[in-house]
Amino acid sequence: MTTKFLLSFTFILTTLLVSAKCDNTYTSASYALNHAKKSFSSKNFDHQKYYAYKALEALEKAKKLIDICGCDKAVDPILDGIENLEKASDPKDFEMGRYYTKRAFADIQDLINQLDIYTQDNLNTIDNLNVSMDTESVEKKLLINELSAIKNQQIILARKQEILEKRKNDIEEKLLNPGS
């Protein structure tokens, strides 16, 4: 029993550590994506430049964090995105700013995809370590919880039906006896 617990605990801890390594990078990339989107959709030239600059700051932070994460394939989209956002944050005109912001937006989406792939690949590697888990008991607990949730929903629906039946009867009574 203790061995199964330790193996399960080790598995869960390792899974959390792999995904946690890239969490801050992923967060910075998400901020960059959000600001790039705001920059691209802004109607004001100053707003377009401001949000491009905010996206640039977030992407530069992601560049610093990528070493902790270890996703080498994410470096190129970061560098490309930084280059495009530098041009977008100080463009010659509004249309050039939008052009470079759109390119940076695509780079940041590629970055997030690379982080997703990297994290998923590492989790799959951990899944294949032949960690023995008592999957039958876990599955049984999940099914019991689901059954309990269904029973609770049935009780709630029965109560709602009673309320609706009462309301229906009240309305019918009012329609049949309008003066009472």
Query: Which stretch of DSSP H or E encloses residue 59?
Result: helix 45-69
The per-residue pLDDT for 86 is 94
User: What CATH class does 2-127 carry?
Assistant: mainly alpha
pLDDT along the chain (180 residues), means of 10: 51 49 84 93 93 94 86 90 93 93 93 85 51 59 78 83 90 83
pTM over 0.75: no
Per-residue model confidence (pLDDT) at position 128 = 45
Alpha carbon distance 23, 71 (integer Å)? 12
**Six-digit token pair at 81?**
């995105």
Q: What is the pLDDT of residue 141?
A: 73
Per the structure block, which two tokens stand in for 149? 């949730």
